[in-house]
Chain A
Amino acid sequence: MHIPDGFLSPEVAGATAVATVAAVGYGLKTASGTLDERRVPLLGVTGAFVFAAQMLNFPVAGGTSGHFLGAALAAILLGPWLACLTMGVVISLQAFVFADGGITALGANILNMGVIGALLVGGLMLATRRALPKSRTMLLGIVGVGAWLAVMAGATATSVELALSGTVPLGTVLPAMLGVHALIGAGEAVVTVAAVAAVLAARPDLIALRDLTDAELKLPAPALEGA
């Protein structure tokens, strides 16, 4: 879902970059205040896994492929804000080192493939925490649904940005993007559930969004954080 340069208008590229800088900036602030030392190497290893898994394009219908995005997995392991930072590192290196995804479109790509999914899954975990019983099966079910929704939300955002840029009408691009990403999202759900199940079996205490409190997940307004 990497947008190359040339697909977005300067206005849309600028607006998405501002949103991404705010989210990744809040991720940096979260990182600087993190007391749990284990989060430091865990962020690096999570980013490495996301990068590696993103290289594994799998075939979906009609000569099309899809790949894992990883925002949902990162949000579950690290919490939504450190996940924004992780996805920012992965997608920036992809653009600058591997020429994958545009430079002016970098903000949009981090927003679509990272920030939106991370915040959506963080919010979903918080919303369902009170409503649903705590069980392994229930947690993995929510993880799977969250991963699929993260991909669909990213595909929707990409379509809206393309339409606002005047590149393609929304009514043309949105159904096509949602159709193919419904399948790619299923792949995302399978990989995310498998990875979370593996971590749950080995080290459940490393999952940030397992027993999270309201305070940890409260979605703050970065503009109000000031001094």
Chain B
Amino acid sequence: MTRIRTRVFLAFALAAAVSLAVFASPYASSSPDGLEKVAGTKGFLADGRVHTIQERSPVPDYALPGIHDPRLATALAGLLGTLLVALVGIGVFKLVRRGTAA
């Protein structure tokens, strides 16, 4: 059995993630999620608050600020977030490994 190379596999997987974030997320359901719905029907939704740190959130609610088309704003937020998670994940991993090697 021929195996595809690790780099090729990872590149395909990352491309799949980016494609989902960019092309599918603008069409995701905007209905409340399970917890939000239960909070609404059981009467504790109003307890929720936005932390002061989050008032200056760079990309609130998965929409890139300054983009007027809401689908484009979501697609760009998805692209940014997907790449950011990959970079931070790899960065943290490399940092702790370097810490041990030294």
A57 to B31 alpha-carbon distance, docked (Å)? 8
A-B contact count (CB 8 A): 211
Asked whether, in the complex, the Cβ of A5 is within 8 Å of the Cβ of B20, the reply is no
Asked whether, in the complex, the Cβ of A6 is within 8 Å of the Cβ of B48, the reply is yes
Asked whether, in the complex, the Cβ of A99 is within 8 Å of the Cβ of B31, the reply is no
Asked whether, in the complex, the Cβ of B25 is within 8 Å of the Cβ of A98, the reply is no
Q: Which residues of A contact B78 (CB under 8 A)?
A: 52, 55
Indicate which residue in A48, A67, A89, A205 contacts B17 across the interface (CB closer than 8 Å).
Answer: A48
Q: Which residues of B contact A158 (CB under 8 A)?
A: 35
| Interface mask (A190-217 → B, CB under 8 Å = 1, otherwise 0) | 0000000000001101100000000000
Determine the main DSSP class of A at the interface with B: helix
Interface residues of A in 1-36 (CB under 8 A from B): 1-7, 28, 31-34
Interface residues of B in 48-82 (CB under 8 A from A): 48-51, 53-54, 57-62, 74, 77-78, 81-82
Asked whether, in the complex, the Cβ of A64 is within 8 Å of the Cβ of B51, the reply is no
A28 to B24 alpha-carbon distance, docked (Å)? 32
Determine the main DSSP class of B at the interface with A: helix
Interface residues of A in 89-127 (CB under 8 A from B): 89-90, 93-100, 102-104
Asked whether, in the complex, the Cβ of B48 is within 8 Å of the Cβ of A47, the reply is no
Asked whether, in the complex, the Cβ of A64 is within 8 Å of the Cβ of B31, the reply is yes
Asked whether, in the complex, the Cβ of B84 is within 8 Å of the Cβ of A96, the reply is no
Closest chain A residue, CB of each to CB of B34: A180
Looking at chain A, what size class is its interface with the partner chain? 35 or more
Asked whether, in the complex, the Cβ of A47 is within 8 Å of the Cβ of B96, the reply is no
A38 contacts B by Cβ under 8 Å:
yes
Closest chain B residue, CB of each to CB of A1: B35
Known: A57-B29, A103-B51, A176-B38. A48 touches B85 (CB 8 A): yes
Q: Which residues of A contact B9 (CB under 8 A)?
A: 202-203, 206
Indicate which residue in B17, B39, B51, B61 contacts A98 across the interface (CB closer than 8 Å).
Answer: B61
Q: Which residues of A contact B61 (CB under 8 A)?
A: 98-100
Q: Which residues of A contact B16 (CB under 8 A)?
A: 49
Asked whether, in the complex, the Cβ of A93 is within 8 Å of the Cβ of B20, the reply is no
A147 contacts B by Cβ under 8 Å:
no
Known: A4-B49, A32-B96, A103-B51. A205 touches B3 (CB 8 A): yes
Known: A55-B21, A55-B78, A96-B57. A45 touches B86 (CB 8 A): yes
CB distance from B91 to the nearest CB of A (A): 8
Q: 7 more A-B contacts (CB under 8 A) besides A40-B97, A64-B37, A180-B34?
A: A32-B96, A33-B100, A44-B86, A48-B86, A52-B78, A55-B24, A86-B89
List 9 tightest A-B contacts by C-beta distance, closest first.
A44-B90, A52-B21, A4-B48, A99-B57, A65-B29, A6-B49, A44-B89, A48-B86, A55-B25
